[in-house]
Structure 1
Amino acid sequence: MRRPLFLSAAVAGTASPALAHDAGSAVWTSWFGDPPVEALLAILLALYLTGLVTMLSSRHQKWAVSKGRVLAFFAAVLALVLALLSPVDALSEELFSVHMFQHLLLILAVAPLLAYSNGHLVVLRAFSISTRRSIGQAIAAIPGMKQAAHKEVAAWIAAGLFVTTMWFWHIPAAYDWALGNEAVHVCEHITLLVAATFFWRVVLTSGKRRLSPAMAVVLVSLVGIQGSFLSALIMFAPHPLYAAYSGNGLDDQVLAGVLMCIPASFVYLGSTIWALSRMLGNSRTHVR
Protein backbone atom coordinates (compact mmCIF):
# COMPACT_ATOMS: atom_id res chain seq x y z
CA MET A 1 0.00 0.00 0.00
CA ARG A 2 1.43 3.38 -0.98
CA ARG A 3 1.81 5.94 1.73
CA PRO A 4 -0.41 9.04 1.50
CA LEU A 5 2.50 11.46 1.64
CA PHE A 6 5.72 11.15 -0.32
CA LEU A 7 7.75 12.45 2.59
CA SER A 8 6.52 9.77 4.97
CA ALA A 9 7.53 7.19 2.39
CA ALA A 10 10.98 8.72 2.15
CA VAL A 11 11.60 8.55 5.87
CA ALA A 12 9.71 5.37 6.70
CA GLY A 13 12.82 3.27 6.39
CA THR A 14 14.71 5.42 8.86
CA ALA A 15 12.47 4.71 11.84
CA SER A 16 10.89 1.69 13.43
CA PRO A 17 8.02 0.05 11.47
CA ALA A 18 5.53 0.91 14.20
CA LEU A 19 6.55 4.54 14.21
CA ALA A 20 6.34 4.75 10.44
CA HIS A 21 2.89 3.14 10.44
CA ASP A 22 1.58 5.49 13.12
CA ALA A 23 2.97 8.54 11.31
CA GLY A 24 1.44 7.45 8.01
CA SER A 25 -2.00 6.63 9.40
CA ALA A 26 -2.39 10.00 11.14
CA VAL A 27 -0.93 12.15 8.38
CA TRP A 28 -4.22 13.27 6.79
CA THR A 29 -5.62 14.57 10.08
CA SER A 30 -2.72 16.94 10.68
CA TRP A 31 -3.67 19.90 8.51
CA PHE A 32 -4.22 23.36 10.02
CA GLY A 33 -3.85 22.40 13.67
CA ASP A 34 -2.01 25.45 14.99
CA PRO A 35 -4.44 28.37 15.65
CA PRO A 36 -1.78 31.00 16.52
CA VAL A 37 0.09 30.37 13.26
CA GLU A 38 -3.17 30.36 11.32
CA ALA A 39 -4.21 33.68 12.90
CA LEU A 40 -0.88 35.36 12.12
CA LEU A 41 -0.95 34.05 8.55
CA ALA A 42 -4.53 35.28 8.11
CA ILE A 43 -3.56 38.76 9.33
CA LEU A 44 -0.57 38.84 6.98
CA LEU A 45 -2.70 37.80 4.00
CA ALA A 46 -5.41 40.33 4.88
CA LEU A 47 -2.88 43.17 5.04
CA TYR A 48 -1.18 42.07 1.83
CA LEU A 49 -4.43 41.74 -0.11
CA THR A 50 -5.63 45.11 1.20
CA GLY A 51 -2.39 46.73 0.09
CA LEU A 52 -2.57 45.01 -3.28
CA VAL A 53 -6.14 46.18 -3.89
CA THR A 54 -5.13 49.71 -2.85
CA MET A 55 -2.33 49.72 -5.43
CA LEU A 56 -4.54 48.31 -8.17
CA SER A 57 -7.27 50.87 -7.52
CA SER A 58 -4.86 53.82 -7.66
CA ARG A 59 -4.70 55.59 -11.01
CA HIS A 60 -1.74 57.79 -10.20
CA GLN A 61 0.59 55.30 -8.51
CA LYS A 62 2.63 52.58 -10.15
CA TRP A 63 2.82 49.10 -8.75
CA ALA A 64 5.26 48.94 -5.88
CA VAL A 65 6.14 45.42 -6.99
CA SER A 66 6.03 43.44 -10.22
CA LYS A 67 3.59 40.63 -10.89
CA GLY A 68 6.45 38.17 -10.49
CA ARG A 69 7.09 39.45 -6.98
CA VAL A 70 3.40 39.11 -6.14
CA LEU A 71 3.55 35.48 -7.26
CA ALA A 72 6.67 35.03 -5.15
CA PHE A 73 4.80 36.25 -2.07
CA PHE A 74 1.95 33.79 -2.54
CA ALA A 75 4.45 31.01 -3.21
CA ALA A 76 6.13 31.90 0.09
CA VAL A 77 2.76 31.66 1.86
CA LEU A 78 2.12 28.23 0.33
CA ALA A 79 5.57 27.06 1.42
CA LEU A 80 4.88 28.42 4.90
CA VAL A 81 1.61 26.47 5.05
CA LEU A 82 3.45 23.34 3.95
CA ALA A 83 6.11 23.84 6.61
CA LEU A 84 3.95 24.77 9.60
CA LEU A 85 0.33 23.79 8.92
CA SER A 86 0.64 20.50 7.04
CA PRO A 87 1.48 16.91 8.03
CA VAL A 88 5.14 17.96 7.82
CA ASP A 89 4.71 19.72 11.16
CA ALA A 90 3.11 16.66 12.76
CA LEU A 91 5.73 14.27 11.41
CA SER A 92 8.53 16.57 12.55
CA GLU A 93 7.72 15.67 16.15
CA GLU A 94 8.46 12.02 15.40
CA LEU A 95 11.25 12.12 12.83
CA PHE A 96 14.36 14.29 12.92
CA SER A 97 14.68 14.08 9.13
CA VAL A 98 11.23 15.60 8.68
CA HIS A 99 12.02 18.31 11.22
CA MET A 100 15.12 19.12 9.20
CA PHE A 101 13.01 19.23 6.04
CA GLN A 102 10.71 21.68 7.81
CA HIS A 103 13.64 23.96 8.69
CA LEU A 104 14.90 23.78 5.11
CA LEU A 105 11.51 24.87 3.82
CA LEU A 106 11.69 27.93 6.07
CA ILE A 107 15.25 29.02 5.23
CA LEU A 108 15.57 27.87 1.61
CA ALA A 109 12.03 28.38 0.26
CA VAL A 110 9.96 30.74 2.39
CA ALA A 111 12.79 33.15 3.27
CA PRO A 112 14.21 33.79 -0.24
CA LEU A 113 10.70 34.07 -1.71
CA LEU A 114 9.73 36.63 0.93
CA ALA A 115 13.00 38.49 0.41
CA TYR A 116 12.39 38.66 -3.34
CA SER A 117 8.69 39.51 -3.11
CA ASN A 118 9.08 42.98 -1.56
CA GLY A 119 5.94 42.06 0.34
CA HIS A 120 6.59 44.72 2.95
CA LEU A 121 5.99 47.42 0.34
CA VAL A 122 2.57 45.98 -0.43
CA VAL A 123 1.64 45.48 3.24
CA LEU A 124 2.50 49.12 3.97
CA ARG A 125 -0.08 50.21 1.37
CA ALA A 126 -2.76 48.73 3.63
CA PHE A 127 -2.16 51.65 6.02
CA SER A 128 -2.79 55.36 5.66
CA ILE A 129 -0.02 57.73 4.56
CA SER A 130 0.33 59.11 8.07
CA THR A 131 0.68 55.63 9.52
CA ARG A 132 3.28 54.70 6.91
CA ARG A 133 5.26 57.82 7.75
CA SER A 134 5.10 57.00 11.46
CA ILE A 135 6.34 53.48 10.78
CA GLY A 136 9.17 54.81 8.61
CA GLN A 137 10.20 57.35 11.23
CA ALA A 138 10.15 54.70 13.95
CA ILE A 139 12.39 52.41 11.90
CA ALA A 140 14.75 55.25 10.98
CA ALA A 141 15.04 56.17 14.66
CA ILE A 142 16.57 52.78 15.48
CA PRO A 143 20.30 53.38 16.17
CA GLY A 144 22.45 52.45 13.17
CA MET A 145 19.49 51.65 10.90
CA LYS A 146 20.17 54.40 8.33
CA GLN A 147 23.85 53.51 8.16
CA ALA A 148 23.13 49.79 7.87
CA ALA A 149 20.93 50.35 4.85
CA HIS A 150 23.94 51.41 2.78
CA LYS A 151 27.00 49.92 4.53
CA GLU A 152 28.64 46.68 3.40
CA VAL A 153 29.09 45.61 7.02
CA ALA A 154 25.31 45.10 7.20
CA ALA A 155 25.66 42.20 4.75
CA TRP A 156 28.22 40.50 6.96
CA ILE A 157 26.05 41.09 10.01
CA ALA A 158 23.12 39.48 8.17
CA ALA A 159 25.24 36.45 7.25
CA GLY A 160 26.61 36.23 10.79
CA LEU A 161 23.12 36.31 12.31
CA PHE A 162 21.92 33.64 9.89
CA VAL A 163 24.84 31.33 10.60
CA THR A 164 24.67 31.92 14.37
CA THR A 165 20.92 31.21 14.42
CA MET A 166 21.38 28.00 12.44
CA TRP A 167 24.14 26.70 14.66
CA PHE A 168 22.44 27.72 17.91
CA TRP A 169 19.20 25.90 17.16
CA HIS A 170 21.11 22.76 16.16
CA ILE A 171 23.02 22.57 19.43
CA PRO A 172 21.51 19.44 21.05
CA ALA A 173 20.53 21.26 24.27
CA ALA A 174 18.83 24.11 22.37
CA TYR A 175 17.14 21.71 19.95
CA ASP A 176 15.70 19.57 22.76
CA TRP A 177 14.69 22.73 24.61
CA ALA A 178 12.66 23.88 21.62
CA LEU A 179 11.02 20.49 21.20
CA GLY A 180 10.02 20.41 24.84
CA ASN A 181 8.56 23.92 25.02
CA GLU A 182 5.99 25.17 22.51
CA ALA A 183 6.81 28.86 23.06
CA VAL A 184 10.51 28.21 22.48
CA HIS A 185 9.64 26.12 19.42
CA VAL A 186 7.71 29.06 17.95
CA CYS A 187 10.67 31.33 18.75
CA GLU A 188 12.97 28.89 16.95
CA HIS A 189 10.91 29.03 13.77
CA ILE A 190 10.53 32.82 13.89
CA THR A 191 14.24 33.50 14.43
CA LEU A 192 15.25 31.05 11.69
CA LEU A 193 12.81 32.65 9.24
CA VAL A 194 13.71 36.25 10.12
CA ALA A 195 17.48 35.65 10.02
CA ALA A 196 17.23 33.76 6.74
CA THR A 197 15.00 36.41 5.14
CA PHE A 198 17.43 39.16 6.21
CA PHE A 199 20.32 37.20 4.69
CA TRP A 200 18.58 36.45 1.38
CA ARG A 201 17.36 40.04 1.15
CA VAL A 202 20.97 41.24 1.32
CA VAL A 203 22.03 38.72 -1.32
CA LEU A 204 19.17 39.49 -3.70
CA THR A 205 19.77 43.26 -3.49
CA SER A 206 23.52 42.93 -4.09
CA GLY A 207 24.85 45.45 -6.57
CA LYS A 208 22.15 47.97 -5.70
CA ARG A 209 23.40 49.46 -2.46
CA ARG A 210 25.17 47.63 0.37
CA LEU A 211 26.82 44.64 -1.29
CA SER A 212 28.67 44.20 -4.58
CA PRO A 213 28.01 41.08 -6.68
CA ALA A 214 31.61 39.97 -6.11
CA MET A 215 31.20 40.11 -2.34
CA ALA A 216 27.85 38.34 -2.69
CA VAL A 217 29.70 35.41 -4.28
CA VAL A 218 32.11 35.29 -1.34
CA LEU A 219 29.34 35.65 1.23
CA VAL A 220 27.10 32.93 -0.17
CA SER A 221 30.06 30.58 -0.64
CA LEU A 222 31.14 30.99 2.98
CA VAL A 223 27.61 30.44 4.27
CA GLY A 224 27.31 27.34 2.09
CA ILE A 225 30.59 25.92 3.40
CA GLN A 226 29.57 26.29 7.04
CA GLY A 227 26.21 24.68 6.25
CA SER A 228 27.98 21.69 4.73
CA PHE A 229 30.18 21.43 7.81
CA LEU A 230 27.16 21.45 10.13
CA SER A 231 25.41 18.79 8.05
CA ALA A 232 28.57 16.65 8.13
CA LEU A 233 28.67 16.84 11.92
CA ILE A 234 25.09 15.58 12.02
CA MET A 235 25.58 12.87 9.39
CA PHE A 236 28.74 11.37 10.85
CA ALA A 237 27.92 11.65 14.55
CA PRO A 238 28.56 8.20 16.14
CA HIS A 239 25.47 8.44 18.35
CA PRO A 240 22.06 10.19 18.36
CA LEU A 241 22.53 13.89 19.05
CA TYR A 242 19.00 14.77 20.10
CA ALA A 243 17.21 13.09 22.98
CA ALA A 244 13.77 13.52 21.41
CA TYR A 245 14.79 11.35 18.43
CA SER A 246 17.14 8.94 20.19
CA GLY A 247 14.71 6.05 19.71
CA ASN A 248 14.75 6.39 15.92
CA GLY A 249 18.28 5.14 15.44
CA LEU A 250 21.11 6.72 13.46
CA ASP A 251 19.48 6.26 10.04
CA ASP A 252 16.99 9.04 10.74
CA GLN A 253 19.82 11.36 11.81
CA VAL A 254 21.94 10.50 8.77
CA LEU A 255 19.00 11.24 6.47
CA ALA A 256 18.52 14.60 8.22
CA GLY A 257 22.17 15.47 7.55
CA VAL A 258 21.84 14.44 3.90
CA LEU A 259 18.72 16.58 3.49
CA MET A 260 20.54 19.51 5.06
CA CYS A 261 23.57 19.07 2.81
CA ILE A 262 22.27 18.31 -0.68
CA PRO A 263 19.27 20.66 -1.21
CA ALA A 264 21.02 23.52 0.59
CA SER A 265 24.15 23.03 -1.51
CA PHE A 266 22.13 23.40 -4.72
CA VAL A 267 20.46 26.58 -3.43
CA TYR A 268 23.76 28.12 -2.34
CA LEU A 269 25.43 27.06 -5.60
CA GLY A 270 22.58 28.55 -7.63
CA SER A 271 22.83 31.79 -5.65
CA THR A 272 26.58 31.91 -6.20
CA ILE A 273 26.18 31.38 -9.96
CA TRP A 274 23.49 34.08 -10.07
CA ALA A 275 25.71 36.57 -8.21
CA LEU A 276 28.68 35.62 -10.41
CA SER A 277 26.66 36.20 -13.58
CA ARG A 278 25.65 39.64 -12.30
CA MET A 279 29.26 40.44 -11.51
CA LEU A 280 30.39 39.41 -15.01
CA GLY A 281 27.50 41.31 -16.56
CA ASN A 282 28.49 44.47 -14.72
CA SER A 283 32.11 44.01 -15.80
CA ARG A 284 31.13 43.74 -19.47
CA THR A 285 28.98 46.86 -19.15
CA HIS A 286 31.89 48.84 -17.73
CA VAL A 287 34.24 47.59 -20.46
CA ARG A 288 31.87 48.83 -23.16
Structure 2
Amino acid sequence: MPPEYRAIFDDWSPPLFLTTAVILTAVVYLRGWLAIRKTRPSLFPSWRLISLLLGLAILWISISSPLDGFADALLSAHMVEHLLLMSFVPPLLLLGYPTVPLLRGLPRILIASVLGPMLRRKALRRLGHTLTTPVVAWLAMNLIFLGWHVPAAYNYALEHEHWHEFEHICFLGTSILFWWPLIRPWPTSAGNQGWYMLPYLALADIVNSALSAFLAFCDRPVYSYYLEQPNPFHISPLSDQVVGAVIMWVIGSMVFLIPIVAVTIRLLRQETRRREPISRPDSESLLKKRLGATS
Protein backbone atom coordinates (compact mmCIF):
# COMPACT_ATOMS: atom_id res chain seq x y z
CA MET A 1 0.00 0.00 0.00
CA PRO A 2 1.39 3.45 -0.90
CA PRO A 3 2.48 5.49 2.15
CA GLU A 4 -0.12 8.23 1.60
CA TYR A 5 -2.90 5.64 1.72
CA ARG A 6 -1.35 3.90 4.71
CA ALA A 7 -1.23 7.19 6.63
CA ILE A 8 -5.00 7.66 6.26
CA PHE A 9 -5.75 4.10 7.32
CA ASP A 10 -3.36 4.42 10.28
CA ASP A 11 -5.11 7.59 11.48
CA TRP A 12 -8.57 6.05 11.08
CA SER A 13 -10.52 4.42 13.87
CA PRO A 14 -14.24 3.58 13.74
CA PRO A 15 -16.26 6.19 15.67
CA LEU A 16 -17.87 4.50 18.63
CA PHE A 17 -21.11 6.51 18.75
CA LEU A 18 -22.12 6.23 15.10
CA THR A 19 -21.01 2.62 14.77
CA THR A 20 -23.06 1.67 17.84
CA ALA A 21 -26.04 3.68 16.59
CA VAL A 22 -25.96 1.96 13.18
CA ILE A 23 -25.73 -1.51 14.71
CA LEU A 24 -28.53 -0.82 17.21
CA THR A 25 -30.77 0.60 14.48
CA ALA A 26 -30.19 -2.50 12.35
CA VAL A 27 -31.01 -4.82 15.29
CA VAL A 28 -34.15 -2.88 16.26
CA TYR A 29 -35.38 -2.77 12.66
CA LEU A 30 -34.72 -6.49 12.15
CA ARG A 31 -36.65 -7.32 15.32
CA GLY A 32 -39.60 -5.18 14.23
CA TRP A 33 -39.44 -6.42 10.64
CA LEU A 34 -39.67 -10.04 11.78
CA ALA A 35 -42.66 -9.18 13.98
CA ILE A 36 -44.64 -7.24 11.40
CA ARG A 37 -43.80 -9.68 8.61
CA LYS A 38 -45.97 -12.26 10.37
CA THR A 39 -49.09 -10.19 9.70
CA ARG A 40 -48.07 -8.21 6.59
CA PRO A 41 -45.71 -10.42 4.59
CA SER A 42 -46.65 -8.84 1.25
CA LEU A 43 -45.89 -5.35 2.57
CA PHE A 44 -42.51 -6.31 4.02
CA PRO A 45 -40.73 -8.67 1.63
CA SER A 46 -37.08 -9.52 2.13
CA TRP A 47 -35.87 -6.81 -0.23
CA ARG A 48 -37.12 -4.11 2.15
CA LEU A 49 -34.93 -5.52 4.90
CA ILE A 50 -31.97 -5.64 2.51
CA SER A 51 -32.65 -2.06 1.39
CA LEU A 52 -32.61 -0.64 4.89
CA LEU A 53 -29.53 -2.61 5.98
CA LEU A 54 -27.73 -1.52 2.81
CA GLY A 55 -28.67 2.09 3.52
CA LEU A 56 -27.24 1.83 7.03
CA ALA A 57 -24.07 0.22 5.68
CA ILE A 58 -23.56 3.00 3.12
CA LEU A 59 -24.22 5.59 5.83
CA TRP A 60 -21.44 4.06 7.92
CA ILE A 61 -19.08 3.82 4.96
CA SER A 62 -19.66 7.44 3.94
CA ILE A 63 -18.79 9.09 7.26
CA SER A 64 -17.25 6.45 9.51
CA SER A 65 -14.91 4.54 7.22
CA PRO A 66 -11.50 5.69 5.89
CA LEU A 67 -13.47 7.45 3.12
CA ASP A 68 -13.93 10.32 5.59
CA GLY A 69 -10.16 10.63 5.86
CA PHE A 70 -9.81 10.78 2.08
CA ALA A 71 -12.57 13.41 2.01
CA ASP A 72 -10.45 15.67 4.21
CA ALA A 73 -7.64 15.54 1.65
CA LEU A 74 -9.46 15.37 -1.68
CA LEU A 75 -12.46 17.34 -2.92
CA SER A 76 -13.41 14.45 -5.21
CA ALA A 77 -13.62 12.07 -2.23
CA HIS A 78 -15.63 14.69 -0.34
CA MET A 79 -18.13 14.85 -3.22
CA VAL A 80 -18.46 11.06 -3.18
CA GLU A 81 -19.16 11.26 0.55
CA HIS A 82 -21.87 13.88 0.02
CA LEU A 83 -23.35 11.95 -2.89
CA LEU A 84 -23.69 8.80 -0.80
CA LEU A 85 -25.27 10.73 2.08
CA MET A 86 -27.79 12.61 -0.03
CA SER A 87 -28.62 10.37 -2.97
CA PHE A 88 -28.16 6.76 -1.87
CA VAL A 89 -28.68 6.48 1.88
CA PRO A 90 -32.08 8.28 2.14
CA PRO A 91 -33.98 6.37 -0.59
CA LEU A 92 -32.59 3.05 0.61
CA LEU A 93 -33.69 3.76 4.18
CA LEU A 94 -37.15 4.94 3.10
CA LEU A 95 -37.69 1.94 0.81
CA GLY A 96 -37.32 -0.18 3.93
CA TYR A 97 -40.55 1.39 5.30
CA PRO A 98 -38.67 2.03 8.57
CA THR A 99 -41.27 3.75 10.77
CA VAL A 100 -43.40 0.84 11.97
CA PRO A 101 -40.65 -1.84 12.12
CA LEU A 102 -38.47 0.49 14.22
CA LEU A 103 -41.37 1.16 16.59
CA ARG A 104 -42.23 -2.54 16.78
CA GLY A 105 -38.60 -3.39 17.45
CA LEU A 106 -38.20 -1.06 20.43
CA PRO A 107 -39.05 -2.15 24.01
CA ARG A 108 -42.74 -1.63 24.75
CA ILE A 109 -42.05 0.39 27.87
CA LEU A 110 -40.15 2.94 25.80
CA ILE A 111 -43.02 3.20 23.32
CA ALA A 112 -45.66 3.53 26.03
CA SER A 113 -43.85 6.04 28.22
CA VAL A 114 -41.88 8.20 25.77
CA LEU A 115 -42.49 7.77 22.04
CA GLY A 116 -46.22 7.05 22.19
CA PRO A 117 -47.24 10.31 23.90
CA MET A 118 -44.80 12.23 21.72
CA LEU A 119 -46.09 10.81 18.43
CA ARG A 120 -49.69 11.50 19.44
CA ARG A 121 -49.08 15.23 19.72
CA LYS A 122 -50.94 17.03 16.95
CA ALA A 123 -48.34 19.79 16.71
CA LEU A 124 -45.55 17.29 16.08
CA ARG A 125 -47.58 15.41 13.48
CA ARG A 126 -48.52 18.67 11.79
CA LEU A 127 -44.85 19.67 11.68
CA GLY A 128 -43.92 16.32 10.12
CA HIS A 129 -46.64 16.70 7.50
CA THR A 130 -45.45 20.22 6.67
CA LEU A 131 -41.80 19.25 6.36
CA THR A 132 -42.61 16.40 3.96
CA THR A 133 -44.78 18.44 1.60
CA PRO A 134 -43.06 18.64 -1.80
CA VAL A 135 -42.43 22.40 -1.78
CA VAL A 136 -40.90 22.48 1.71
CA ALA A 137 -38.89 19.29 1.20
CA TRP A 138 -37.52 20.48 -2.16
CA LEU A 139 -36.51 23.88 -0.81
CA ALA A 140 -34.95 22.41 2.34
CA MET A 141 -32.74 19.94 0.49
CA ASN A 142 -31.61 22.25 -2.31
CA LEU A 143 -31.00 25.31 -0.15
CA ILE A 144 -28.95 23.25 2.31
CA PHE A 145 -27.08 21.66 -0.61
CA LEU A 146 -26.18 25.04 -2.11
CA GLY A 147 -25.58 26.73 1.24
CA TRP A 148 -22.95 24.28 2.41
CA HIS A 149 -21.14 24.56 -0.93
CA VAL A 150 -20.61 28.30 -0.50
CA PRO A 151 -16.80 28.54 -0.14
CA ALA A 152 -16.86 30.13 3.34
CA ALA A 153 -19.23 27.48 4.73
CA TYR A 154 -17.45 24.60 2.95
CA ASN A 155 -14.02 25.65 4.26
CA TYR A 156 -15.33 26.27 7.77
CA ALA A 157 -16.87 22.80 7.96
CA LEU A 158 -13.61 21.14 6.95
CA GLU A 159 -11.64 23.21 9.45
CA HIS A 160 -13.98 22.45 12.37
CA GLU A 161 -14.86 18.80 12.95
CA HIS A 162 -18.10 19.40 14.85
CA TRP A 163 -19.41 21.69 12.12
CA HIS A 164 -18.42 19.04 9.59
CA GLU A 165 -20.57 16.55 11.49
CA PHE A 166 -23.43 19.06 11.59
CA GLU A 167 -23.07 19.49 7.82
CA HIS A 168 -23.54 15.72 7.40
CA ILE A 169 -26.66 15.81 9.59
CA CYS A 170 -28.07 18.63 7.45
CA PHE A 171 -27.40 16.74 4.23
CA LEU A 172 -28.89 13.49 5.50
CA GLY A 173 -31.92 15.03 7.21
CA THR A 174 -33.01 17.28 4.36
CA SER A 175 -32.40 14.54 1.79
CA ILE A 176 -34.71 12.21 3.72
CA LEU A 177 -37.32 14.97 3.54
CA PHE A 178 -36.69 15.32 -0.21
CA TRP A 179 -37.14 11.64 -1.00
CA TRP A 180 -40.14 11.21 1.33
CA PRO A 181 -42.83 12.64 -1.06
CA LEU A 182 -41.51 10.40 -3.83
CA ILE A 183 -41.34 7.10 -1.90
CA ARG A 184 -44.04 7.83 0.73
CA PRO A 185 -43.07 4.98 3.07
CA TRP A 186 -45.92 3.11 4.75
CA PRO A 187 -47.95 4.00 6.80
CA THR A 188 -47.82 7.38 5.07
CA SER A 189 -50.89 7.76 2.89
CA ALA A 190 -49.92 6.50 -0.55
CA GLY A 191 -52.02 9.03 -2.42
CA ASN A 192 -51.56 9.60 -6.12
CA GLN A 193 -48.18 10.75 -7.34
CA GLY A 194 -49.07 13.44 -9.85
CA TRP A 195 -47.09 14.68 -12.77
CA TYR A 196 -45.67 17.37 -10.47
CA MET A 197 -43.10 14.77 -9.35
CA LEU A 198 -41.36 15.14 -12.72
CA PRO A 199 -40.48 18.84 -12.35
CA TYR A 200 -39.80 18.14 -8.66
CA LEU A 201 -36.96 15.80 -9.68
CA ALA A 202 -35.92 17.67 -12.83
CA LEU A 203 -35.47 20.99 -11.04
CA ALA A 204 -33.35 19.29 -8.37
CA ASP A 205 -31.22 17.86 -11.16
CA ILE A 206 -30.82 21.35 -12.62
CA VAL A 207 -29.56 22.67 -9.27
CA ASN A 208 -27.07 19.80 -9.00
CA SER A 209 -25.95 20.25 -12.62
CA ALA A 210 -25.52 24.01 -12.24
CA LEU A 211 -23.23 23.66 -9.22
CA SER A 212 -21.33 20.79 -10.85
CA ALA A 213 -20.85 22.79 -14.07
CA PHE A 214 -19.58 25.79 -12.12
CA LEU A 215 -16.99 23.68 -10.31
CA ALA A 216 -16.02 21.81 -13.49
CA PHE A 217 -15.50 24.86 -15.71
CA CYS A 218 -14.13 27.28 -13.12
CA ASP A 219 -10.52 28.18 -13.99
CA ARG A 220 -9.38 28.28 -10.37
CA PRO A 221 -9.81 26.22 -7.20
CA VAL A 222 -12.98 27.41 -5.46
CA TYR A 223 -12.22 26.12 -1.96
CA SER A 224 -9.11 27.56 -0.33
CA TYR A 225 -8.95 24.70 2.21
CA TYR A 226 -7.38 22.42 -0.39
CA LEU A 227 -4.76 25.08 -1.20
CA GLU A 228 -3.76 25.60 2.42
CA GLN A 229 -3.64 21.93 3.48
CA PRO A 230 -0.89 19.60 2.22
CA ASN A 231 -2.07 17.13 -0.40
CA PRO A 232 -0.45 13.74 0.21
CA PHE A 233 -1.63 12.43 -3.18
CA HIS A 234 0.16 15.14 -5.20
CA ILE A 235 -2.98 15.95 -7.22
CA SER A 236 -3.45 19.56 -8.26
CA PRO A 237 -6.45 21.17 -6.51
CA LEU A 238 -7.94 22.26 -9.83
CA SER A 239 -7.76 18.75 -11.32
CA ASP A 240 -9.22 17.31 -8.13
CA GLN A 241 -12.05 19.87 -8.32
CA VAL A 242 -12.87 18.91 -11.91
CA VAL A 243 -12.96 15.20 -11.04
CA GLY A 244 -15.24 15.85 -8.07
CA ALA A 245 -17.55 18.01 -10.18
CA VAL A 246 -17.80 15.36 -12.90
CA ILE A 247 -18.63 12.67 -10.32
CA MET A 248 -21.33 14.86 -8.80
CA TRP A 249 -22.67 15.85 -12.23
CA VAL A 250 -22.84 12.43 -13.88
CA ILE A 251 -23.84 10.19 -10.97
CA GLY A 252 -25.97 12.88 -9.35
CA SER A 253 -27.96 13.39 -12.55
CA MET A 254 -28.52 9.64 -12.91
CA VAL A 255 -29.93 9.55 -9.38
CA PHE A 256 -32.61 12.02 -10.48
CA LEU A 257 -33.16 10.85 -14.06
CA ILE A 258 -33.75 7.18 -13.22
CA PRO A 259 -36.66 8.03 -10.85
CA ILE A 260 -38.03 10.42 -13.51
CA VAL A 261 -38.26 7.51 -15.94
CA ALA A 262 -39.76 5.22 -13.29
CA VAL A 263 -42.37 7.82 -12.24
CA THR A 264 -43.29 8.50 -15.87
CA ILE A 265 -43.86 4.80 -16.55
CA ARG A 266 -45.94 4.45 -13.38
CA LEU A 267 -48.11 7.47 -14.22
CA LEU A 268 -48.69 6.25 -17.79
CA ARG A 269 -49.78 2.87 -16.46
CA GLN A 270 -52.16 4.57 -14.03
CA GLU A 271 -53.67 6.56 -16.89
CA THR A 272 -54.13 3.35 -18.88
CA ARG A 273 -55.88 1.64 -15.97
CA ARG A 274 -58.20 4.59 -15.48
CA ARG A 275 -59.34 4.40 -19.07
CA GLU A 276 -59.91 0.63 -19.09
CA PRO A 277 -63.12 0.61 -16.95
CA ILE A 278 -64.58 3.25 -19.25
CA SER A 279 -63.71 1.51 -22.49
CA ARG A 280 -64.84 -1.98 -21.47
CA PRO A 281 -68.57 -1.19 -21.04
CA ASP A 282 -68.55 0.66 -24.34
CA SER A 283 -67.03 -2.31 -26.15
CA GLU A 284 -69.42 -4.77 -24.46
CA SER A 285 -72.49 -2.71 -25.35
CA LEU A 286 -71.26 -2.38 -28.90
CA LEU A 287 -70.85 -6.16 -29.12
CA LYS A 288 -74.37 -6.71 -27.78
CA LYS A 289 -75.80 -4.32 -30.32
CA ARG A 290 -74.06 -6.15 -33.13
CA LEU A 291 -75.26 -9.55 -31.87
CA GLY A 292 -78.78 -8.19 -31.59
CA ALA A 293 -78.67 -6.83 -35.08
CA THR A 294 -77.48 -10.11 -36.56
CA SER A 295 -80.16 -12.14 -34.74
| Aligned-residue offset at 1:31 | 5.8
Deviating beyond 6 angstroms after TM superposition, the runs of 4 or more aligned structure 1 residues are none
Q: In structure 2, how many angstroms separate the alpha carbons of the residues matched to 1:96 and 1:108?
A: 18
Question: Alignment partner for residue 246 of structure 2, among 258, 267, 271?
Answer: 258
What is the correspondence of 1:16-165 to structure 2 with a 5 Å cutoff?
A: 21-26=2-7, 28-29=9-10, 32-55=13-36, 61-63=39-41, 65-128=44-107, 131-132=110-111, 135-141=115-121, 143=123, 145-146=125-126, 149=129, 154-165=133-144
Q: Is the CA contact (8 Å cut-off) linking 1:47 and 1:126 kept in structure 2?
A: yes
| Aligned-residue offset at 1:89 | 1.2
In the other structure, the counterpart of 2:151 is 172
Instruction: State yes or no: 1:267 paired with 2:255.
Output: yes
- Kindly, what percent of the aligned residue pairs are identical? 24
| 1:80 to 1:287, Cα distance in 2 relative to 1, 3 A | same
What are the ranges of 5 or more consecutive residues in structure 1 without an aligned counterpart? Answer: 5-20
Q: In structure 1, how many angstroms separate the alpha carbons of the residues matched to 2:142 and 2:259?
A: 16
Q: In structure 2, how many angstroms separate the alpha carbons of the residues matched to 1:258 and 1:94?
A: 18
In the other structure, the counterpart of 1:212 is 193
| Aligned-residue offset at 1:230 | 1.1
What are the ranges of 5 or more consecutive residues in structure 2 without an aligned counterpart? Answer: 229-235, 277-295
Q: How big is the alpha-carbon RMSD for the aligned residues of Structure 1 and Structure 2?
A: 2.7
1:92-117, Cα deviation, whole Å (9 max, x unpaired): 11001001001101111111101111
Q: In structure 2, how many angstroms separate the alpha carbons of the residues matched to 1:22 and 1:142?
A: 57
| Aligned-residue offset at 1:36 | 2.4
Q: In structure 2, how many angstroms separate the alpha carbons of the residues matched to 1:51 and 1:196?
A: 24
1:55-94, Cα deviation, whole Å (9 max, x unpaired): 46xx6x3346221111101111221222122221111110
Q: Is the CA contact (8 Å cut-off) linking 1:115 and 1:198 kept in structure 2?
A: no
Q: In structure 2, how many angstroms separate the alpha carbons of the residues matched to 1:67 and 1:144?
A: 31
Q: In structure 2, how many angstroms separate the alpha carbons of the residues matched to 1:40 and 1:48?
A: 12
1:239-277, Cα deviation, whole Å (9 max, x unpaired): 212122126420011111111100011111101011111
In structure 1, what residue type is equivalent to 2:79? M
In structure 1, what residue type is equivalent to 2:267? M
Q: In structure 1, how many angstroms separate the alpha carbons of the residues matched to 2:175 and 2:132?
A: 17
SS in 1 for 2:40: coil
| Aligned-residue offset at 1:203 | 1.0
SS in 1 for 2:105: coil
Larger Rg: 2
| 1:119 to 1:31, Cα distance in 2 relative to 1, 3 A | farther
1:112-167, Cα deviation, whole Å (9 max, x unpaired): 10111112221111235565465354235253734864x89811111111101111
In structure 2, what residue type is equivalent to 1:276? T
Number of equivalenced pairs: 265
| Aligned-residue offset at 1:22 | 4.3
| 1:28 to 1:180, Cα distance in 2 relative to 1, 3 A | closer
Q: Is the CA contact (8 Å cut-off) linking 2:75 and 2:241 kept in structure 1?
A: yes
